[in-house]
Structure formats: C-alpha cells, structure tokens
C-alpha cells in the first residue's frame, strides 16, 4: 500500500468572482449594491469557518480490457469511462478532501433560522470553496505525479459516468479518509457534503 499524505490546512482561496459566478452574476456591475454588501459579509464570515484539508496517496493502477480497472489492489471497478481516463497510466493518485463541517453547519443554521438570503449566499460560498479545493488537489496531484516523471490526467470521481458510487468504499479504505473528518453514509455519500474525492491518473509524458 502506498503511504498517504495529509494536507492540513489546505491552502484554499475563495475569490469573489468565483462566488458571484456561482450566484449567476457574470459581472460585478450586475450585483445590486445591497446584495454586494451582504456577499462581502458572508464571505468574511465563511472564510473564518473554513477548515480545508485533504488526504491523498499514489497507488499502482492497472487497466484491463475492456473496462476493468484496479487501483492499489483493493479498488476494483468495471467502468468504461474510468478505463478511458486511466488507460496508459501505471500510477494513480487517490484523494479525498473537505472544506470542513463548520461551514456546512453555518449554512444549515442560517436556513433553519429563516435567513434564506444569507443561507443561499453562504451555500454559494461553500460550494465555491469546494471548487477551489478541487483546483488545489489538482495542483498537488500534478506535483506528486511529476516527481515520478508522470503527467497528471483530468480529475475523475465515483458517481461520474458509469463509475458507480460504491467505489467510494474501497477508495476511503485505501486512504483512511476518516482521518480528516470525512465519513460515508450507507449510500456512499460523503459527510460533510461539501467534500470531494476521486482519482487522477499518472501517465508518462
């Protein structure tokens, strides 16, 4: 088994344009003044609650025809879409990452208190933070795989295409993802919900 690495805290930056785009605003000039002030307030509060962290490891990857993939020996999946992404990859980086439970609890609390506008803005901030988290994971993967002389493929995750969600089980077991506070439901959904997981292949450049 590959040794796993924990990144805590993760260097995640949530930009205002990212949040605005999540809310459907393509230009700052489209945002009403009162809404703009509220967004700034929400972003300031949200940044203080972020607890971004990740765990990852680089494992052996084997692809067999026509759709069988094995990662780290324990993760076995029949998925044509995963096979296409890992074809030619002898190594693969598995990862799980989260922005933390605190932001999620804050969003839910605002909604439960009837502060719907603030709650929706907070959720947009949290979703933007999860996107930023994914971008940082890709940076880490490119560096880790690059150290082995490999080029990183695009990020892919259980639940995408024909890669079934139950692969979350062995993925989490290989990484020991609960070490960073992420657990799975019986249906293989992640808690906290604003968490991400998946694989990035390593291919000879």
Question: And the tokens for 51?
Answer: 């607890």
**What is the C-alpha to C-alpha distance for residues 43 and 38, in angstroms, rounded to an integer?**
9
Question: Crossing angle of helices 101-112/116-146, nearest 10°?
Answer: 160
Q: Give, in degrees to the nearest 5, the angle at Cα 64 between 61 and 67.
A: 105
Strand partners, 7: 54
**What is the C-alpha to C-alpha distance for residues 60 and 55, in angstroms, rounded to an integer?**
17
Tokens 């940044």 — which residue?
47
Going residue by residue through the chain, which has 205 residues, state the pLDDT in tens, using 9 for 90 and above. 458 999 999 999 999 999 999 999 999 999 999 999 999 999 999 999 999 999 999 999 999 888 999 999 999 999 999 999 999 999 999 999 999 999 999 999 999 999 999 999 999 999 999 999 999 999 999 999 999 999 999 999 999 999 999 999 999 999 999 999 999 999 999 999 999 999 999 999 7
**DSSP state letter for 28:** G
pLDDT of 205: 77
pLDDT of 66: 84
Alpha helices in 96-191 (DSSP H): 101-112, 116-146, 168-175
For the domain covering 5-204, report its CATH number.
3.40.109.40
What are the residue ranges spanned by the domains of the chain? 5-204
């Amino acid at each position: 088994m590959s040794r796993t690495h924990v990144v805590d805290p993760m260097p995640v930056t949530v930009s205002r344009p990212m949040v605005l785009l999540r809310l459907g605003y393509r230009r700052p000039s489209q945002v009403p003044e009162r809404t703009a002030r509220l967004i700034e307030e929400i972003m300031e509060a949200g940044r203080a609650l972020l607890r971004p962290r990740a765990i990852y490891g680089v494992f052996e990857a084997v692809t067999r025809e026509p759709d069988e993939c094995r990662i780290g020996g324990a993760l076995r999946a029949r998925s044509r879409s995963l096979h296409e992404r890992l074809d030619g990859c002898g190594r693969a980086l598995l990862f799980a990452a989260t922005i933390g439970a605190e932001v999620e609890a804050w969003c839910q609390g605002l909604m439960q208190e009837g502060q719907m506008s603030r709650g929706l803005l907070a959720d947009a901030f949290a979703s933007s933070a999860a996107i930023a988290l994914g971008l940082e994971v890709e940076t880490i993967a490119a560096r880790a795989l690059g150290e082995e002389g490999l080029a990183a493929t695009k990020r892919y995750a259980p639940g995408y295409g024909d890669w079934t969600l139950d692969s979350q089980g062995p993925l989490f077991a290989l990484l020991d993802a609960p070490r960073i506070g992420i657990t799975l439901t019986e249906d293989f959904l992640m808690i906290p919900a604003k968490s991400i997981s998946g694989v990035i292949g390593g291919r000879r450049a």
